[in-house]
């Protein structure tokens, strides 16, 4: 009751703030601005209050609330109990709202200092109001008797909750969603700034105060994506760090847009060009967050994803569409309204300039984002185009993103080596010589060492090494000059390292499914693995210990498998041997009992056409498949078919006899008809590989059983067999360290840009804000020199 009221109050206060900020923007009325601030802060205060109230309810087990009953239980530890705050859909919207509100307080102070407060806060309040509206309709404070009206007596308090999905019971759950949702919340700022710029008719200056916020959003969201990847890899056992799942894609796309925006904004700072591009890209940072939310929360993806999405009902579906349409509408309306006023600043740069490289890089990022969006939306697209829902295979993402990756890698190096506006062709060779030489040498060395045969992979490796070398050279000089300016170089070094890690871990991984009979060593992937038994680790979980040995070194991994009552299914967590150059990844599949019955004592053997093998005293030759034309016709028509494998069998050099075990296929069902030789030797078809083009390559696999021996074999006690998927992921550590280096680069850039924005705003007071957006280029140039650009190398500087 109280919670629901607080949500409504926060919504109303937020709307009041919106209109008061708008009024101040229109009339400049100071009273309206003061009122707007109070409204906004009271909305934020109320959001903090109801979030705290919800947390209190969770910690004190108030199971009369449907949400708390659904996700929480008495048995959870305190950190996990706190994480149930955002375990469900309502709660994650609440977390998003909370972060939006908290960021809003800082944004309001910051924009006030920089003269953008009424406009930015009008739009930002709209975002906050939209989120609060979601909470009104998806109320996390509903009582159980309100959810099941008429079925549950009012005032009923369940004894315990249903608990948190064991898949989520992990320390990553405590931290990852918070980082991700603060990233989502931060993406509201570039959108607000872009629309504010259009409201203010200020098309040039907005990028200065907005840049630190965009970099902040990219940093936080990037950090969240990395944590998600690590969680999936380390605990969830998805086999890799990235599976192109809609949920993963939905955070990657806004991130790509934000990184693209950072690059084109850099160009606008220099030359003033890309006014429209930057406005649109900054808006897309947030619009893609909303679109992703719609995709993953509306239930529209249905059965096409590994995640089983919950259908939240039609109301939420339309509300999400409404919110998406609202923010696209606001952005589009302003772009159309101001289309003739926006300055057209022709690009002054040549093809051989940093601007052009930045533009291409940004375009590549946008294309990657678009391809991913199209792939993620494929169920919707195919539904519209062919009336049938289909989803693209994961290979779609690999084929489309891979070439873009090559382009991005090369541009990440080229862009750093080029000079703004134009680069003299004379100095070019000198600057490019070293990185290109290193890249060529490195690629050739790696191509031989890792036996790279795919040209695309070779190009990718070349691009990555080139980017690494170029950015190390450039970065080193910048660090010697002023480390604050090294953010870009650091981020690109990280990118190159990560790319090299991608090649190692994804292209050269080896995978093998192993059946480990207890205490029987199995050699695979250069390691000796022995399953030694299992031990319980808590109520329902079991750890399956596997000894791993290589060259005298011993490791123990203990992947976990358990039957979860909550999910009514088998849960599996992998375990990893972390080595510097690679990971040995052991994912449990199942625990089986070895089948020691007669059937499995069968011997299996493969024969090519015309080949002979010896089994005991028997000579067996595979003559051919017995597959008459009539049967072929029957198969095409889907009728019953019989296929035989003609074998020539002889015992002790006696006269050979032809027998033919058969396989019957009737309405999709297969049955085997064994052939018995001399009443003792049974032959059954295990599998067939007919080769239509080259009949000589046709193969058959036959299962042979000595019926006399089988009858005598007693049923021995069955040892446990642990089935695991073992895989080697070479150089996966490069992926993680690369991502971390990228984030460090972002942080450095963020600090630099926010200092710059502050300096500029204070030193020039509000002077620059009053300047018409068509400030002559010379004036802007002087601003830049004030910022102290000193990171160019292409043109030799006097002291170098």
d(Cα 114, Cα 212) in Å, to the nearest integer?
Answer: 13
The residue (of 124 and 397) whose beta carbon lies closer to another protein is 397
Which residue in this structure is represented by tokens 């009041």? Answer: 16
Who contacts 150 (Cβ-Cβ below 8 Å, separation ≥6)?
none
What is the smallest separation between the CB atom of 605 and another protein, expressed in angstroms? 13
The residue (of 226 and 414) whose beta carbon lies closer to another protein is 414
The only residue of 383, 389, 532, 619 in contact with another protein, by rule CB under 8 A: 389
CB 571 within 8 A of CB 563: yes
What is the smallest separation between the CB atom of 546 and another protein, expressed in angstroms? 15
d(Cα 133, Cα 686) in Å, to the nearest integer?
Answer: 61
The residue (of 21 and 359) whose beta carbon lies closer to another protein is 359
Confirm or reject binding of residue 83 to another protein (CB under 8 A): no
d(Cα 754, Cα 114) in Å, to the nearest integer?
Answer: 12
The residue (of 312 and 427) whose beta carbon lies closer to another protein is 312
Confirm or reject binding of residue 344 to another protein (CB under 8 A): no
- Decide: helix, strand or coil at residue 684: strand
End-to-end CA distance of the chain: 71
The residue (of 446 and 514) whose beta carbon lies closer to another protein is 514
| Angle subtended at Cα 303 by Cα 301 and Cα 308, rounded to the nearest 5 degrees | 90
What is the smallest separation between the CB atom of 418 and another protein, expressed in angstroms? 16
- Decide: helix, strand or coil at residue 574: coil
Task: Determine how many CB atoms are found less than 10 A away from the CB of residue 374.
Answer: 14
What is the smallest separation between the CB atom of 96 and another protein, expressed in angstroms? 19
What is the smallest separation between the CB atom of 369 and another protein, expressed in angstroms? 12
Task: Determine how many CB atoms are found less than 10 A away from the CB of residue 561.
Answer: 21
The residue (of 152 and 175) whose beta carbon lies closer to another protein is 152
What is the smallest separation between the CB atom of 355 and another protein, expressed in angstroms? 12
Enclosing H/E stretch for 24: helix 2-27
Confirm or reject binding of residue 383 to another protein (CB under 8 A): no
Print the binding letters for residues 292-331 with another protein: x by CB under 8 A, - otherwise.
Answer: -----------x-xx-x-xxx-------------------
Confirm or reject binding of residue 659 to another protein (CB under 8 A): no
Instruction: Name the nearest CA neighbour of 487 among 751, 252, 740, 187.
Output: 751
What is the smallest separation between the CB atom of 706 and another protein, expressed in angstroms? 19
Confirm or reject binding of residue 605 to another protein (CB under 8 A): no
The residue (of 313 and 796) whose beta carbon lies closer to another protein is 313
What is the smallest separation between the CB atom of 39 and another protein, expressed in angstroms? 35
What is the smallest separation between the CB atom of 326 and another protein, expressed in angstroms? 26
d(Cα 363, Cα 110) in Å, to the nearest integer?
Answer: 30
R_g of the chain computed on alpha carbons: 33
d(Cα 680, Cα 708) in Å, to the nearest integer?
Answer: 6
The residue (of 25 and 663) whose beta carbon lies closer to another protein is 663
Of 719-738, binders to another protein (CB under 8 A) are 721, 723, 725
d(Cα 776, Cα 778) in Å, to the nearest integer?
Answer: 5
What is the smallest separation between the CB atom of 672 and another protein, expressed in angstroms? 10
What is the smallest separation between the CB atom of 639 and another protein, expressed in angstroms? 12
Stretch that binds another protein, among 93-101, 319-327, 539-547, 587-595 (CB under 8 A): 587-595
Per-residue burial over 84-121, b if 16 or more Cβ lie within 10 Å, else e, is: bbbbbbbbbbbbbbbbbbbbbeebbebbeebbbbbbbb
The residue (of 380 and 447) whose beta carbon lies closer to another protein is 380
The only residue of 519, 592, 772, 789 in contact with another protein, by rule CB under 8 A: 592
The residue (of 653 and 668) whose beta carbon lies closer to another protein is 668
The only residue of 19, 53, 396, 677 in contact with another protein, by rule CB under 8 A: 396
Print the binding letters for residues 501-540 with another protein: x by CB under 8 A, - otherwise.
Answer: ------------x-x-------------------------
Instruction: Name the nearest CA neighbour of 191 among 286, 271, 113, 91.
Output: 286
The residue (of 203 and 627) whose beta carbon lies closer to another protein is 627
Instruction: Name the nearest CA neighbour of 211 among 765, 745, 754.
Output: 754
Q: Is 507 exposed, middle or buried (0-12, 13-18, 19+ CB in 10 A)?
A: middle
d(Cα 526, Cα 584) in Å, to the nearest integer?
Answer: 10
What is the smallest separation between the CB atom of 160 and another protein, expressed in angstroms? 5
Print the binding letters for residues 134-173 with another protein: x by CB under 8 A, - otherwise.
Answer: ----------x---x--xx---x-xxx-x--x--------
What is the smallest separation between the CB atom of 394 and another protein, expressed in angstroms? 8
Instruction: Name the nearest CA neighbour of 72 among 232, 64, 601.
Output: 64
Of 406-435, binders to another protein (CB under 8 A) are none
Who contacts 507 (Cβ-Cβ below 8 Å, separation ≥6)?
457
Count the residues of the shown chain that bind another protein, applying the rule CB under 8 A.
69
Confirm or reject binding of residue 646 to another protein (CB under 8 A): no
What is the smallest separation between the CB atom of 403 and another protein, expressed in angstroms? 8
Of 195-234, binders to another protein (CB under 8 A) are none
Of 665-694, binders to another protein (CB under 8 A) are 665, 667-670, 687-690
What is the smallest separation between the CB atom of 158 and another protein, expressed in angstroms? 5
The residue (of 639 and 657) whose beta carbon lies closer to another protein is 639
Could you tell me the two tokens for 639? 């009728």
Q: Is 68 exposed, middle or buried (0-12, 13-18, 19+ CB in 10 A)?
A: buried
d(Cα 207, Cα 215) in Å, to the nearest integer?
Answer: 12
The only residue of 129, 369, 643, 750 in contact with another protein, by rule CB under 8 A: 643
Q: HSE (CB half, 13 Å, CA atoms) of 318? A: 4
- In order of 7, 132, 186, 510, 649, the CA distances from 100 in angstroms are 14, 10, 7, 44, 78
What is the smallest separation between the CB atom of 346 and another protein, expressed in angstroms? 7
Stretch that binds another protein, among 110-118, 132-140, 462-470, 588-596 (CB under 8 A): 588-596
What is the smallest separation between the CB atom of 303 and another protein, expressed in angstroms? 5
What is the smallest separation between the CB atom of 206 and another protein, expressed in angstroms? 26
| Nearest-10 Cα torsion for 574, 575, 579, 581 | 0
Per-residue burial over 122-140, b if 16 or more Cβ lie within 10 Å, else e, is: bbbbbbbbbbbbbbeebbb
| Nearest-10 Cα torsion for 632, 638, 642, 643 | 50
Confirm or reject binding of residue 242 to another protein (CB under 8 A): no
The residue (of 245 and 756) whose beta carbon lies closer to another protein is 245
Instruction: Name the nearest CA neighbour of 495 among 580, 373, 406.
Output: 406
The residue (of 383 and 795) whose beta carbon lies closer to another protein is 383
Residues that bind another protein (CB under 8 A): 69-70, 144, 148, 151-152, 156, 158-160, 162, 165, 303, 305-306, 308, 310-312, 346-347, 351, 363, 367, 370-371, 374-375, 378, 382, 388-393, 395-396, 399-400, 403, 513, 515, 567-572, 589-590, 592, 594, 635, 638, 643, 663, 665, 667-670, 687-690, 721, 723, 725
């Amino acid at each position: 009751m109280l919670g629901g009221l607080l949500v409504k109050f926060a919504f109303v206060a937020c709307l009041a703030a919106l209109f008061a900020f708008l009024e101040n923007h229109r009339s400049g009325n100071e009273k309206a601005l003061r009122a707007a601030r109070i409204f906004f802060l009271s909305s934020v205060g109320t959001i903090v209050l109801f979030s705290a109230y919800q947390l209190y309810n969770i910690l004190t087990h108030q199971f009369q609330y449907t949400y708390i009953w659904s996700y929480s239980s008495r048995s959870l530890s305190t950190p996990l109990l706190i994480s149930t705050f955002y375990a469900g859909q309502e709660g994650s919207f609440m977390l998003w709202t909370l972060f939006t509100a908290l960021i809003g307080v800082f944004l309001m102070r910051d924009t006030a200092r920089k003269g953008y407060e009424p406009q930015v806060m009008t739009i930002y309040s709209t975002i906050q109001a939209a989120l609060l509206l979601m909470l009104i309709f998806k109320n996390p404070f509903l009582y159980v008797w309100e959810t099941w009206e008429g079925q549950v007596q009012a005032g009923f308090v369940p004894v315990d909750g249903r608990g948190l999905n064991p898949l989520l019971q992990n320390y990553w759950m405590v931290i990852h969603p918070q980082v991700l949702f603060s990233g989502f919340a931060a993406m509201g700022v570039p959108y607000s700034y872009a629309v504010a710029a259009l409201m203010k008719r200020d098309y040039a200056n907005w990028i200065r105060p907005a840049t630190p916020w965009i970099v902040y959003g990219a940093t936080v969201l990037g950090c969240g994506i990395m944590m998600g990847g690590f969680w999936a890899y380390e605990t969830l056992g998805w086999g890799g760090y990235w599976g192109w799942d809609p949920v993963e894609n939905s955070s990657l796309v806004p991130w790509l847009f934000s990184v693209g925006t950072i690059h084109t904004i850099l160009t606008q700072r220099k030359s003033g060009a890309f006014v429209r591009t930057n406005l649109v890209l900054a808006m897309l940072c947030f619009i893609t967050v909303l679109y992703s939310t719609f995709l993953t929360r509306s239930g529209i993806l249905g059965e096409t994803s590994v995640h089983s999405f919950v259908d939240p009902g039609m109301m939420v579906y339309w509300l999400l569409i409404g919110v998406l349409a609202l923010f696209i509408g606001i952005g589009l309306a302003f772009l159309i309204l101001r289309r003739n006023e926006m300055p057209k600043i022709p690009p002054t740069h040549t093809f051989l300039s940093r601007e052009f490289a930045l533009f291409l890089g940004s375009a590549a990022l946008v294309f990657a984002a678009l391809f991913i969006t199209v792939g993620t939306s494929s169920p919707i697209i195919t539904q519209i185009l062919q009336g049938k829902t289909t989803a693209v295979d994961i290979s779609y993402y690999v084929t489309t993103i891979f070439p873009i990756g090559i382009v991005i890698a090369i541009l990440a190096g080229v862009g750093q080596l080029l000079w703004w506006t134009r680069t003299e062709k004379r100095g070019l060779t000198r600057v490019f010589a070293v990185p290109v030489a290193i890249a060529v040498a490195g690629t050739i060395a790696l191509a031989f060492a890792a036996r790279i045969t795919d040209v695309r992979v070779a190009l990718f490796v070349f691009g990555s090494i080139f980017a690494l070398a170029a950015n190390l050279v450039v970065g080193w000089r910048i660090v010697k000059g002023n480390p604050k300016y090294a953010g870009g170089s650091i981020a690109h070094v990280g990118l190159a390292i990560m790319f090299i890690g991608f090649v190692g871990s994804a292209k050269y991984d080896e995978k093998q499914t192993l059946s480990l009979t207890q205490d029987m060593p199995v050699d695979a992937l250069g390691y000796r693995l022995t399953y030694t038994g299992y031990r319980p680790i808590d109520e329902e979980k079991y750890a399956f210990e596997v000894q791993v040995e290589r060259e005298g070194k011993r490791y123990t991994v203990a992947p976990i498998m358990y039957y979860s009552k909550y999910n009514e299914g088998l849960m599996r967590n992998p375990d990893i041997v972390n080595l510097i150059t690679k990971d040995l990844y052991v994912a449990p599949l199942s625990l089986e009992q070895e089948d020691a019955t007669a059937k499995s004592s069968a011997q299996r053997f493969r024969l090519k056409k015309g080949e002979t093998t010896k089994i005991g005293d028997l000579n067996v030759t595979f003559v051919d498949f017995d597959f008459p034309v009539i049967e072929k016709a029957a198969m095409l028509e889907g009728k019953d078919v019989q296929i035989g494998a003609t074998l020539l069998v002889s015992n002790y050099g006696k006269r050979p006899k032809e027998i033919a075990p058969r396989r019957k296929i009737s309405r999709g069902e297969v049955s085997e008809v064994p052939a018995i030789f001399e009443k003792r030797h049974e032959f059954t078809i295990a599998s067939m590989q007919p080769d239509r083009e080259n009949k000589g390559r046709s193969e058959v696999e036959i299962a042979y059983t000595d019926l006399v021996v089988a009858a005598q074999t007693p049923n021995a006690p069955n040892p446990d067999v642990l089935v695991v998927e073992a895989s080697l992921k070479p150089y996966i550590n490069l992926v993680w360290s690369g991502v971390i280096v990228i984030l460090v680069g972002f942080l450095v850039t963020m600090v630099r840009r926010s200092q710059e924005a502050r300096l500029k705003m204070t030193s020039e007071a509000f002077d620059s804000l009053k300047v018409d957006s068509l400030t002559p280029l010379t004036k802007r140039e002087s601003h830049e020199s004030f910022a102290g650009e000193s990171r160019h190398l292409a043109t030799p500087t006097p002291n170098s």
